[in-house]
A and B are shown apart, each in its own frame.
Chain A
Amino acid sequence: GQQVMQIPQYQHVQEGEDFTTYCNSSTTLSNIQWYKQRPGGHPVFLIQLVKSGEVKKQKRLTFQFGEAKKNSSLHITATQTTDVGTYFCAAGAGGTSYGKLTFGQGTILTVHP
Chain B
Amino acid sequence: DTEVTQTPKHLVMGMTNKKSLKCEQHMGHRAMYWYKQKAKKPPELMFVYSYEKLSINESVPSRFSPECPNSSLLNLHLHALQPEDSALYLCASSQGRIGGPTDEKLLFGSGTQLSVL
Q: Which of A48, A94, A99, A103 has the most CB of B within 10 A?
A: A99
Are the CB atoms of A43 and B103 closer together than 8 Å?
no
A100 touches B56 (CB 8 A): yes
Asked if B100 CB lies within 8 Å of chain A CBs, one says yes
Interface mask (A92-108 → B, CB under 8 Å = 1, otherwise 0): 10100011110111101
Q: Which residues of chain A are within 8 angstroms of B74 by Cβ–Cβ distance?
A: none
Q: Which residues of B contact A48 (CB under 8 A)?
A: 103, 105
- Please, how many angstroms separate the alpha-carbon atoms of A106 and B37 in the complex? 12
Q: A42-B109, A42-B110 are known contacts. Are A105 and B42 too (CB-CB below 8 A)?
A: yes
A88 interface contact, C-beta 8 A? yes
Closest beta carbon of chain A to B45's beta carbon, Å:
6
Say yes or no: B43 contacts A43, CB within 8 Å. Answer: yes
Contact of A45 with B45 in the complex, beta carbons under 8 Å: no
Say whether A104 contacts B42, CB under 8 Å: yes
B41 contacts which chain A residues (CB < 8 A)?
105-106
Kindly state the separation between the CA atoms of A84 and B106 in the bound complex, as whole angstroms: 21
User: Are B108 and A42 touching (Cβ within 8 A)?
Assistant: yes
Chain B, 26-49, CB within 8 A of any chain A CB = 31, 33, 40-45, 48
Question: What 0/1 pattern do residues 44 to 65 of A give for CB contact below 8 A with B?
Answer: 1100100000000000000000
Say whether A72 faces chain B, with CB atoms less than 8 Å apart. Answer: no
Most chain B beta carbons < 10 A, residue from A31, A94, A103: A103
Q: Give the contacting residue for A99; candidates B88, B103, B110; CB below 8 A.
A: B103
- Return the 4 tightest CB-CB contacts between A and B, nearest first: A99-B101, A92-B103, A103-B42, A42-B108
Interface residues of B (CB under 8 A from A): 31, 33, 40-45, 48, 50, 55-56, 58, 88, 90, 100-103, 105-111
Beyond A41-B110, A45-B107, 4 extra complex contacts between A and B, CB < 8 Å: A33-B105, A99-B48, A103-B42, A106-B41
Q: List 23 A-B contacts (CB under 8 A).
A: A33-B106, A42-B108, A42-B110, A42-B111, A43-B106, A43-B108, A48-B103, A88-B42, A98-B102, A99-B100, A99-B101, A99-B102, A99-B103, A100-B45, A100-B48, A100-B56, A103-B42, A103-B43, A103-B44, A104-B42, A105-B42, A106-B40, A106-B42
